[in-house]
Chains A and B, each alone.
Chain A
Amino acid sequence: MKDSTLIFWLLSFTKPFKGKMSLAILLGIISNLAVVAIPVISTLTLLRLIAGDAVYLSVILAVLIGCGILRGVARYLEQYQNHDIAFSLLAHIRGEIFAALRKIGPARLTGKNSGELITSISTDVEALEVFFAHTISPVFISLGTTLVTFIFLARYDLGLALVLLAGQLLIGGIIPFISYRKNLQIGDDYKKAFVQVNQTIMENANSLKDIAQFHLEKTRLEKLKADSNILNHENRRRIFQGNSLQLLSELVVIGTTLCVFYFGSSRGLSMNTIVISVVLSLSSFGPVLALGNLGNALLTTFSSGRRLYQLVHEEPFVEFEESTESLATVGNLQAENLSFHYPATDKAVLENISFELNKGQSIGISGESGSGKSTLLKLLMRYWDPDSGKLTINGLPLSSLKEESLHQLEGVMEQSTFLFEDTIANNISLKRTNVSQAAIEEAAKAAALHDWILSLPEGYETQLSKLSRSISDGERQRIGLARLLVYDAPLILLDEPTSNLDYVNEQAILASFKEKLQDKTMILVSHRDSTLKIAEKQLHLENGQLKNK
């Protein structure tokens, strides 16, 4: 991936901030010129004093103090503006990342490691601060300041002004650019090592029990240590490059000043010109030195930027229509000769699957693990589109429905239920305001949760994090079932909805579900006959083919 692509992408975020950014640049130029002005004015005054010219010392003193104050105020405001812009942008970009994650959908996310995602969302976004606060306006500030000092010195002597300009270009542009290009790998290597440490920490935390069971304390600690050592090594490389860059820049400052002095004297220029040139040379490198450091800082920033760019630009497996009529009910659901294989493999998971359901009908699908039961439901949720065949609701192809419409039509319960750190009531209603307390309680009763919830100190308002023990898999699943009932969608898709319940509870819940879901269209997937029997019709999935049972 080209850096220019990345830079244009990052710059595209700054458009709404053009005004603020221009102001920051102007303030930055003023603050830098104020810094240069102090020694230059002092030197000029000194030269006049030596020459015996009239000098209004009190006025000069006032001007110098004024420059100092101006520098402080302008610098403060410039930094305030730049960081205000940067952090507003970071907040905006975090939102973009979540939007991107939603767009690429659960199907793509299953292949991602948790350590990778956490790094993207937290540190990668933070790293962009360097670009937004310390790159964009500083480039223009340097250009502006350098231009003014060049013109100022050129009025004394064009040759010396060109020497100074060359030094400034070297420090602010050429050296950091070459160093950046030569060390491009450092940023990526550092980030990779960082992600690996995150991943190992996550794994260690998730496998505490297994670590104790199989005496892995030493090996896991050694792995963490090895990963940390790699990270330290990469960090050292990064810091060494930064320090070398800084040292080189300082040498160029001294070198340029010496050159200015040498050329000035060898060409027999006036003492005044030489002194002013040397003073200007020593004092005008501030803004370009700041740019020089970017040759190091941008290594990791652009590495983070590339990862975010790739995440945001990942192609989703399916695209949803933007504006199509939405459906309120499901009168008919039809699958015709569906075939499907996963994008990464050649093996067909489903072959020529056909079935039809009318409003209020239900089918139960059995099959061994890996037979494609869950995949079939995921096609109905449009995680993927089938390779061939048709999938329609009320005669409309599934792919013509917009995303919200599909989500409103389908109530889905998968094998694992995600619970939020919130109250039980909110976990059931998902905080949708149109859900009444009565509806929540009714659903909880049907899912055999009501009595348990009432036995808790704060009832439905109990925070899950405040339970005296962690929630069991069965309770988790029953909250998922209550959530599904409250959602009240016309088409219900269930994937092993009662796998964590014992037989008695399962039968009780299924009986009340059967009653509550009478008018719903339903597809139920399970390996258990005891679960499937609530469906009117039962089918068996084997070798990718659907057969009557």
Chain B
Amino acid sequence: MNTKDFLYAESIRDNLLLANPQLTDDELWHLLDQVKLSAFVGQLPEQLDTVLEENGKNLSGGQRQRLILARALAASAELYIFDEITSGIDIESEEIILETLKALAKQAIVIFVSHRLYNVLAADQIYVFKDGRIVEAGTPQGLEQTSDYFNAYFTEENRQMRGAIDHEG
């Protein structure tokens, strides 16, 4: 799952069933529960039958991304790769997505790619990429104590926050 996933101009139900056509309505509601969308869908007049606009344009960025996450969960895969799926959405949605992934990681392998440090602190292992190479690897706790990268990151962050412009991080 990345930020370019597509939602068809069909009902919410049909979009979710793409991942697994066997799911019952109860199971679909359970999926929406997991990404905290059931209240929102529940108050729509047509509920699961609500037809989306092309690529979910009638949803907010956060709602859209959570619905796509629900669809990904519907597939019940054993390995998930998420690429920057929390960029450009509201903080509430971001937290919901991170919580959902934490729960997911208990039963499936989750690879989560992000440019935001606080997004990946709950991972079992962190790999830091720079110029196409892994420059650091370890648990978040381990890296915090031993890694120059973490310290450098915060120093750099502080320097830049004071207004210095540097090349892309």
Residues on A facing B (Cβ under 8 Å) = 110-111, 113-114, 199, 203, 206-207, 209-210, 213-214, 216, 368-370, 415, 445-446, 448, 451-452, 473-474, 496, 499-500, 502-505, 507-509, 511-512, 515, 527-528
Contacts and interface: CB of A to CB of B under 8 A. Distances in A.
B168 A113 contact: no
A448 B165 CA distance: 6
A200 to B, nearest CB: 10
Given A369-B62, A369-B92, A370-B60, A508 B164 contact: yes
6 contacts: A111-B53, A369-B90, A502-B115, A504-B160, A527-B91, A528-B91
A512 B4 CA distance: 30
Contacts of B115: 474, 502
Contacts of A113: 9, 54
Contact of A368 (B92, B163, B165): B92
B60 to A, nearest CB: 4
B63 to A, nearest CB: 6
A293 to B, nearest CB: 37
A480 to B, nearest CB: 13
Contacts of A515: 163
A445 B61 CA distance: 29
Given A113-B54, A114-B54, A369 B166 contact: no
B130 interface: no
Contacts of B89: 369, 499, 527
B75 interface: yes
Nearest to A114: B54
Contact of B165 (A209, A500, A512, A527): A512
A200 B90 CA distance: 31
Interface string B35-72: 00000000000000000011101001111000000000
B12 to A, nearest CB: 15
B19 A214 contact: yes
A428 B75 CA distance: 42
B33 interface: no
Contact of A448 (B19, B91, B156, B166): B166
B8 interface: yes
Contact of A216 (B18, B87, B164, B167): B18
Contacts of A445: 165
B116 interface: yes
Of the listed residues A507, A509, A528, the one surrounded by the most CB atoms of chain B closer than 10 A to its CB is A507
B163 A508 contact: yes
Interface in B132-169: 153, 156-157, 160-169
B6 interface: yes
Interface string B1-25: 0111110110000000011000000
